[in-house]
A and B are shown apart, each in its own frame.
Chain A
Amino acid sequence: MSTGALIVLLVAVGVITFLYRYAMIGLFASRSLPAWLHALCRHIAPASFAALTASALFVHGGTLSIDLGAPKPWAALVAALVAWRTRSVLATIATGMAALSLFKFLF
């Protein structure tokens, strides 16, 4: 993406995010939120993170490539186990990066 397009994108996301934050304080101050919005918001984060993780591991250059000889999926698996046990973001990143170096060396 060109730098110009990236600037437009970031400003657009910034404006949208600000409008979300200002929405009920300033724009629609007298209205209440529909129940479905609460229900939907609970699922957005897990769905986004799962889609991006699966894509980072198994989609390369716009094509699906499930390659079990590649080091990244295995490093991700080690990281997921550590995340499950420790619930620590830092420990997950540290072990995942260490596992990636190890598997790149071994495979």
Chain B
Amino acid sequence: MTTITAPARRARVREFLAGCRDEAPLQLGVVPFGMLYGIGALAAGMPAWLAQLASAVVFAGAAQLVIVQMLTSAAGALPIGLTAALLNLRHVLYSASVADYVRHLPRRWRLLLAYLLTDEAYAVAILRYQTASPGKDQAAAAADTVPGVDLRHWYFLGCGLTLWATWQLSTAAGLLFGATVPPEWDIDFAVPLTFIALLTLLLRERAGQAAALAAALGALAFATLPYRLGLVAAILLGLLAGVWATRRGEGAR
């Protein structure tokens, strides 16, 4: 271990706190999803301790809501696992996107930052990486505080831990609130309503529309497949339709 000078330590803390501060506004959007997950998990019959544990182990909001919805419709473990694995595939893209900036870090740092690499943490941290003195040498680029030392992983850590804490606390809040909701409220219907809201945001481009339409029709056509495997088939059909629509759109231009 090398000794850390006081100014270097202060620079780290400053970078970490800057990450927390820049991540903070996004928490407003995260809290409802965390609560909804907690409420939905109870309605789907998950034990509260396991629902809370899943927020730490899986730590991916959309996938956790999808798992809850599929449990509600009595899907088997394999279709749920496949769907969640597909939905989370985008994290490979984030991983590739930050790879150049964190490659020089020790493995324990890379393991920790990988665990914290969610949609919202990525969105904020990547801005810090991409806007700092572009064109310069990377080690020198981040040296606004200590010359020659890249401290931006502390900023990334601030973003990631802020989101982590919000996700755990809002899950807990949802579990507490969910336990008081009477079953006749049909509170589990809030999960598909969330999917409807997210869908309308995603449907601006034609390829997304084709994917969604084909997947919705597929879900009805394959409804009778066992263990809800029809959902996986429907999503794959939607992907085919999306890729096909994109190709056709490019060909027409």
Contacts and interface: CB of A to CB of B under 8 A. Distances in A.
A76 B189 CA distance: 9
A93 to B, nearest CB: 5
Given A21-B94, A50-B199, A57-B192, A16 B85 contact: yes
B119 to A, nearest CB: 10
Interface string B238-251: 11001100100000
A25 B113 CA distance: 9
A37 B217 CA distance: 24
Interface in B10-34: 29, 32-33
Interface stretch (B62-70, B143-151, B163-171, B172-180): B62-70
A40 B193 contact: no
Contact of B89 (A5, A18, A40, A90): A40
Interface in A61-105: 61-64, 66, 72, 75-76, 79-80, 83-84, 87-90, 92-93, 96-97, 100-101, 104
Nearest to A13: B84
Contacts of B189: 56, 72, 75, 96-97, 100
B57 A51 contact: no
A65 B231 CA distance: 16
A52 B230 CA distance: 10
B95 A47 contact: no
Contact of B200 (A11, A24, A72, A87): A87
Contact of A9 (B33, B73, B77, B235): B77
Contacts of B214: 47
The DSSP consensus for interface residues of chain B is helix
Nearest to B53: A10
A42 B219 contact: no
B223 A100 contact: no
Contacts, number: 281
A63 B222 CA distance: 9
A48 B57 contact: no
B193 A43 contact: no
A56 B83 CA distance: 15
Interface in A1-50: 1, 3, 5-14, 16-18, 20-26, 29, 32-33, 37-50
Given A21-B117, A47-B212, A83 B92 contact: no
A106 interface: no
Given A14-B54, A54-B217, 20 more contacts: A9-B81, A10-B53, A13-B88, A14-B59, A16-B88, A20-B95, A21-B91, A22-B110, A24-B92, A25-B99, A46-B212, A47-B235, A49-B195, A55-B220, A55-B230, A59-B230, A64-B220, A64-B223, A72-B189, A96-B189
Interface of A: 1, 3, 5-14, 16-18, 20-26, 29, 32-33, 37-59, 61-64, 66, 72, 75-76, 79-80, 83-84, 87-90, 92-93, 96-97, 100-101, 104
Minimum-distance CB pairs A-B, first 4: A47-B238, A43-B242, A14-B57, A50-B212
